[in-house]
């Protein structure tokens, strides 16, 4: 999670490990927008394995991939933030359109230490989900505040 205030042409990654070989996999670079979520959000692990009984009564399991699903409600924000480019130079409709239609993106529901409120890169990496939204909230207006809609986001299984 590089922290930069200006555009950079290269990104360096440092891996601190004692292992001889490291498989990096993929690196994804996205434009980031901070959108608050209300208390009560959850990340559930979904097991797509299929279980059925054989004729002899034994349980037969066909293993399926595991993935995580984030369910949350966006917290209220002022109209100026939601409609007036207060989301990193964007507004909610622009952000929603960018990730709608099963376009892949990344959500990080928890990235700050609960006590100090400092950025915690290990917590951010652990809680990050790479996938797509299955339900996007609309920019609902309640008491001159926006962002109270429900959102679901599903991880792409590994």
pLDDT tens sequence across 60-74: 999 999 999 999 988
Name the token pair of 134: 């299955």
- The residue ranking higher by pLDDT, 14 or 75, is 75
Torsion of CA 4, 133, 140, 30, to 10 degrees: 10
pLDDT tier at 158 (50, 70, 90 boundaries)? confident
Domain ranges of the chain: 42-155
Return the exposure string of 29-51: e unless at least 16 CB atoms fall within 10 Å of the residue's CB, then b.
eeeebebebeeeeebeeeeeeee
Name the token pair of 157: 């299984």
pLDDT tens sequence across 78-133: 777 777 777 777 777 778 888 888 788 889 999 888 899 898 988 988 899 999 99
């Amino acid at each position: 999670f590089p922290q930069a205030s200006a555009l950079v042409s290269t990104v360096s990654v440092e891996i601190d490990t004692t292992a001889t070989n490291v498989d990096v996999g993929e690196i994804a670079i996205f434009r980031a927008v901070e959108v608050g979520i209300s208390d009560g959000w959850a990340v559930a692990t979904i097991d797509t394995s299929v279980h059925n009984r054989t004729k002899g009564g034994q349980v037969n399991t066909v293993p399926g991939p595991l993935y995580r699903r984030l369910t949350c409600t966006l917290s209220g924000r002022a109209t100026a933030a939601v409609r007036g480019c207060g989301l990193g130079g964007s507004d909610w409709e622009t952000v929603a359109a960018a990730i709608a239609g099963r376009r892949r993106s990344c959500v990080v529901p928890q990235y700050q230490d609960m006590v100090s409120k400092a950025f915690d890169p290990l917590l951010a990496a652990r809680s990050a989900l790479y996938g797509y939204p299955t339900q996007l909230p609309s920019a609902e207006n309640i008491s001159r505040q926006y962002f109270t809609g429900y959102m679901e986001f599903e991880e792409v299984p590994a």
